[in-house]
Chain A
Amino acid sequence: KNEVEQSPQNLTAQEGEFITINCSYSVGISALHWLQQHPGGGIVSLFMLSSGKKKHGRLIATINIQEKHSSLHITASHPRDSAVYICAVRSGRAGNQFYFGTGTSLTVIP
């Protein structure tokens, strides 16, 4: 079993739709990160969370530490949001290793 599970694996939405990507993890963490990777591109950090909720523009990320669950929401989705979204957790153990989900591939259709 993977330490980090994401759902859905693939998601297609019409422009303007509200999108939710879910992430569950099974290890103790010091922080959870949401990352974005455009096709053929690099990986950029969207959010780092250790509790509660964060908002940046149309993106909102929440985390429930007790339930070991996080969600990434995109409001008023746009074709430029098409990318792979990756959930990563930073282990609280020595070495501070990261565990990654396999990503959610989002396609937003105009």
Chain B
Amino acid sequence: NAGVTQTPKFRILKIGQSMTLQCTQDMNHNYMYWYRQDPGMGLKLIYYSVGAGITDKGEVPNGYNVSRSTTEDFPLRLELAAPSQTSVYFCASVGGSGVRNSPLHFGNGTRLTVT
């Protein structure tokens, strides 16, 4: 199993540009999440999904969009990038809460700089 695969690892955007962060998991997990991590801060939830076709906003959704057309894929779209979106982004997935032994799996992160 590859786990959670997240691309790209690094990206520099100019203000106003757009990009998509890709996230794929091969563990048949229902729950997928996008977080951002700013220096010295905890992980903040951007969007989450409880299954294919179902997404919902997290704590900091402004400036982002997601889709979940399949169980495996959960891309994060940044429209009109702003310097405030400079951060490290993590995608994560986990099995259903009825699955007692289901660790939280993270992608390797995307370091995004908006200048």
- Residues of A whose CB lies within 8 Å of any CB of B are 2, 30-31, 33, 35, 41-45, 48, 50, 86, 88, 90, 92, 95-98, 100-103
Contact = CB atoms under 8 A, between A and B. Distances in A.
Main secondary structure of the interface of A (DSSP, over half): strand
Interface residues on B, range: 20 to 34
Interface string B93-112: 01011001111111111000
A48 B94 CA distance: 11
Interface of B: 31, 33, 40-43, 45, 48, 50, 56, 58, 90, 92, 94, 96-97, 100-109
A97 B48 contact: yes
A97 B108 CA distance: 20
Contacts of A41: 108
Contacts of B104: 33, 35, 45, 48, 88, 90, 98
Contacts of A101: 42
A1 to B, nearest CB: 13
A101 B42 CA distance: 6
Among A2, A41, A45, A92, the one with the most B-chain Cβ atoms within 10 Å of its Cβ is A45
Nearest to A44: B106
Given A50-B100, A95-B50, 12 more contacts: A2-B42, A31-B100, A41-B108, A42-B106, A42-B109, A43-B92, A43-B106, A45-B106, A96-B31, A98-B104, A100-B42, A100-B43
